[in-house]
Amino acid sequence: MARRELFLALICVAASALAAGASAGRMVGVYELKKGDFSVKVTNWGATIIVERVNDTSFFGPVAGRVAQRIARGRFVLDGKVYHLAINDGKNTLQGGGRGFHKVIWTVKEYVAGGDSPYITLYYRSFDGEHGFPGNLDVHVTYRVSASSGSPYYALGVHTNATALDKATPVNLLQHTYWNLAGHGHGDVLDHTLRLFASRYTPLNAEMLPSSGRVAPVAGTPFDFRAPTPIGARIRGVMGGRVVGYDANYVFDGEERMMRRVAHVRDGASGRALELWGNQPCVQLYTANWLNRTAGKGGEVYDRYAGFCLEMQGYPDAVNHPEFPSQILRRGQVYRHDMVFKLSF
């Protein structure tokens, strides 16, 4: 298999459907970023990383917001006012609500397909009251592809910023791409070796919420990936909600909001590896627990554990937990979220 085909297989297990029901007045497109043998495709539907078009029932590749993960009971109090949000996950709000940032058409602001560092910048204006969130919010995300001179890896940068225009509002964005380093259609990721540079995690309840607000050490638990460990080695000891698998939030060591190494993943059979760097305090490890005969590209079908996600983020449900670092953005403030995936072969 050509090297280019190998890396196309690495980017996503699958991708988002393109703009079902999108208005005719706003165009949805697919944009390729290519550097040498490495190619990434992006659509402005949900600011989504894609490879091929498939049905999206499992949140393949988009940006989640205005607040990613869950908000308990779809409510929070900010500056003495109670806000009620769209409920779309049991009794809670998930990934910004039913029509979060993943189900809107973003505007293409800049697109450079080739050259030394191909990139695309997408823009979305989240309006005051959208799904119950206060204030107008300007959001930009840039996907950038680059190569390291003299080193056998390519990098995919994801750079997001958001500006609160007129009111205070919670902001916590994440990128939800699935990865399988064995390549498309090559089974599950349970034999991938994972190392996470995190010694703590936030225990979650059956609703996948940090109801206690507690941060606990990973030592002595199935959540301990401080040393390189196969993803599947202790997965049977984890209850990710209502099915077995990881859907856990880790808290990183070191200074917050600084770029630092977050994770290293390697597939021994192919020799391919992924290293993640980022500036957020947490990452959600998700092992595709809910995939169940999900239609994928090229006629493939994806089952549980067909991929893994490393979702950089702030603390989950921080808006309801004053003991967690705040995710509130005040008027005129800018939220910045940077991450880089480094892929080697």
Residues annotated as catalytic (active site), given as ranges: 176, 311
Contacts of the segment 87-95: beta carbons below 8 A, 24+ positions apart: 90/207, 91/207, 92/207, 92/209, 93/67, 93/131, 94/69, 94/70, 95/59, 95/64, 95/65, 95/68, 95/69, 95/176
| Dihedral (CA of 95, 63, 319, 307) sign | positive
177 is in an annotated binding site: yes
List beta partners, residue 248: 285
Do 60 and 15 form a contact (C-beta atoms < 8 A)? Answer: yes
Beta bridge partners of 276: 263, 341
First to last CA, the chain: 13
247 is known to lie in a ligand binding site: yes
The SS3 call for residue 252 is coil
Residue 294: Cβ within 10 Å count: 21
- 201 in a known ligand binding site: no
Contact criterion met (CB below 8 Å) for 197 and 260: yes
Cα 221 to Cα 191: distance, rounded to the nearest angstrom: 19
> What size, in residues, is the chain?
345
What residues are designated binding site?
176-178, 247
What residues are designated binding site for beta-D-galactose?
176-178, 247
